[in-house]
Amino acid sequence: MVSSAKYESVAHEGRYRDLVESLPHTMFEMDTRGRFTFANNNALVLFGYTRDNLPSELDLSHVIEHSDLSRARRDFRGLLAGRKTTSAEYKARKKNGSTLPIIVFPSAVFRGERCVGVRGIAIDLTHQIRLRNAARSIILQTATAQEKERRRIARDLHDDTAQELAALSLQIDATTRGEEKLSPATIERLHSLKTKTDSILEGIARICMELRSYALEQFGFVPALELLTAELKDETGINAHIRITGTERRLSYEADLVLFRIAQEALANIRRHSQATKAVLAIRFKKDVVRITVSDNGKGFQVPEILMDLPDLGKLGLINMQERANLLGGTFKVRSELGSGATVVVEIQA
């Protein structure tokens, strides 16, 4: 006769197995030697096995591609040793030899104080990677189209508006030096008009430079950011500098462009609104991640609880930065308080 305790244990295990089989996920369990002790039907379908043709000792070497096998075994040993692993991506191999990208969410299994194996969920990333690649292509096309439009606007401003203003400035200058006698008040007024015209010309020249990413195109990502901070310091007197940590590396074109535009927008906000005396542009290169932090010691502002409320506060520049970060699936954060400056943090996978 089966004891009530053993019956309850069997019933509990049966309910667990039924639950695992009903979930739309690939689930597995392994012993401490790395051999699979359980795989649900979704796992068998994904890897092309049936229960009748499973190897007698199915282990990692059957389902992980050789190029990732040593890393998978190292991660497995780390789990048994108590190291926490949130997730890991591998190239997996099916029974027929074809490969697929997967992400695994594992955890160690304990009986009392003793680790008896590992269980987890594996998800096929094939569809997600296709979507990611398609989104990346769209981002690149969008960024390219935006840059073309920026160049066109910059060219029109330079060739039309700036040239006409330059001609107007020369005409005013010629009038003040002409043979026709003008009253001192008129001459003073003309000098004032010339000064304003020249100031507008300088503003247009700066806008043209901002619209065109000359430095990024010619020198690259980090030198372009160094130039942005140097220009801010030279033109405003703000003590702006750049700080780089980690190992600098080449980024994709779209990552370069998006991060450059975000930094440019952040420094422009400091120039226009912050009343700051100091600003720091920090770039941190980590494995597969780049983080940009732009901070100042200016007057600050009250950050709304919902960032989408920023336009109501006239903070369109911050919304532009957030949207650019979203283009690459990145994160955007802004911290500020009245009288305590502001900090913008953007992080993307790159």
Tokens at 269, concatenated: 């906000």
Choose the weakest-confidence range: 21-30, 83-92, 192-201, 276-285.
Answer: 21-30
Residue 112: partners with Cβ closer than 8 Å, 6 or more residues away: none
> Where residue 102 falls among pLDDT bands split at 50, 70, 90?
very high
**Cα 321 from chain centroid (whole Å):** 11
Residue-wise pLDDT for 328-338, tens only, equals: 888 899 998 88
> Which architecture does CATH list for 219-350?
2-Layer Sandwich (3.30)
- Give the helix/strand (H/E) hosting 267: helix 253-269
> Where residue 6 falls among pLDDT bands split at 50, 70, 90?
very low
Look at residue 241 in the predicted model and tell me its pLDDT. Answer: 92
Residue-wise pLDDT for 10-39, tens only, equals: 444 556 666 667 677 789 999 999 999 888
* Superfamily designation of domain 4-124: PAS domain (3.30.450.20)
Look at residue 322 in the predicted model and tell me its pLDDT. Answer: 85
Look at residue 50 in the predicted model and tell me its pLDDT. Answer: 85
Helix (H, G, I), strand (E, B) or coil at 61: helix
Residue 125: partners with Cβ closer than 8 Å, 6 or more residues away: 89, 100, 101, 102, 103
Tokens 């990145």, residue located: 330
**Domain residue limits, the chain:** 4-124, 130-212, 219-350
Tokens 């092309």, residue located: 48
Characterize 25-54 residue by residue with b for buried, 16 or more Cβ atoms within 10 angstroms of its Cβ, and e for exposed.
ebbbbbeeebbbeebbebbbebbebeeeee
Tokens at 315, concatenated: 């903070």
Residue 190: partners with Cβ closer than 8 Å, 6 or more residues away: 172, 175, 176, 182
Residues written for the chain: 350
> Where residue 98 falls among pLDDT bands split at 50, 70, 90?
very high
Nearest to 295 by CA among 343, 238, 338, 242: 343
Residue 1 has pLDDT above 50, yes or no: no
Q: How far apart are CA 3 and CA 9, in angstroms?
A: 10
Q: How far apart are CA 324 and CA 316, in angstroms?
A: 12
Look at residue 343 in the predicted model and tell me its pLDDT. Answer: 94
Choose the weakest-confidence range: 38-52, 63-77, 215-229, 291-305.
Answer: 215-229
Residue 165 has pLDDT above 90, yes or no: no
**Cα 284 from chain centroid (whole Å):** 12
Instruction: Work out the angle at residue 313's Cα, subtended by the Cα atoms of residues 310 and 314, and round it to the nearest 5 degrees.
Output: 90
Choose the weakest-confidence range: 63-77, 92-106, 300-314.
Answer: 300-314
Q: How far apart are CA 58 and CA 177, in angstroms?
A: 94
Look at residue 11 in the predicted model and tell me its pLDDT. Answer: 44
- Give the helix/strand (H/E) hosting 71: helix 66-80
Residue 207 has pLDDT above 90, yes or no: no
Look at residue 14 in the predicted model and tell me its pLDDT. Answer: 58
Residue 182 has pLDDT above 70, yes or no: yes
Q: How far apart are CA 163 and CA 174, in angstroms?
A: 16
Residue 244 has pLDDT above 90, yes or no: yes
Q: How far apart are CA 156 and CA 148, in angstroms?
A: 12
Report CA-CA distances (Å) from 190 to 107, 184, 193.
78, 10, 5
Residue 4: partners with Cβ closer than 8 Å, 6 or more residues away: none
Q: How far apart are CA 29 and CA 224, in angstroms?
A: 51
Look at residue 17 in the predicted model and tell me its pLDDT. Answer: 67
Look at residue 141 in the predicted model and tell me its pLDDT. Answer: 76
Strands 289-296 and 26-30: unpaired
Top-confidence range, 42-56, 115-129, 176-190: 115-129
Look at residue 2 in the predicted model and tell me its pLDDT. Answer: 38
Q: What is the DSSP code (8-state) at residue 314?
A: T
Residue 282 has pLDDT above 90, yes or no: yes
